[in-house]
Amino acid sequence: MSDWGPVFVAVVLFILLTPGLLIQIPGRSKFVEFGNFQTSGVSILVHSVIYFTLICIFLLAIGVHICNYIQKKMADWGPVLIGVVLFVLLQPGLLFQLPGHSRPMEFGSMKTNGKAIAVHTLIFFAVYAILILAVHVHIYTG
């Protein structure tokens, strides 16, 4: 049986915490900016810390699971660490943006748009689901 809980939580947090979509902390001209479709290295770092905190709460403290079996009571850090790494690497505008503003793909633009967030979310979902559900990457601590 597969546990879709970590995938669901990770993808929803990826969407909600993508800098520039709903909120950017810190913003370009203010500490907090809303819906500006901009990003920066500092805001990706801040949003990554928030992502890490929330995914730890949902997956480790609360234990969100979507399956019909009871899981062992060991903490599985695999979904958390994979989620945080993918969250950083797949932020639109950091390494690449697909699609870009003026080209099909742009690199290091530090900008984003709705289409790019949707495409990057699909990439995040696919890679995360493959690693968690198909490859079964787990890091257990007692």
Cα–Cα distance for residue pair 4/49, rounded to 1 Å: 23
Domain count, the chain: 1
List the domain range (segments joined by +) for residue 69.
5-141
Residues of the chain with pLDDT under 50: none
Residue-level pLDDT at 74: 66
| Global pTM value | 0.82
Over the chain, what is the mean pLDDT?
Answer: 89
Residue-level pLDDT at 71: 54
Backbone angles phi, psi at 22, to 5 degrees: -95, -45
Cα–Cα distance for residue pair 83/89, rounded to 1 Å: 10
Tens-place pLDDT, residues 83-118? 999 999 999 999 999 999 899 999 999 989 999 999
Residue-level pLDDT at 78: 87
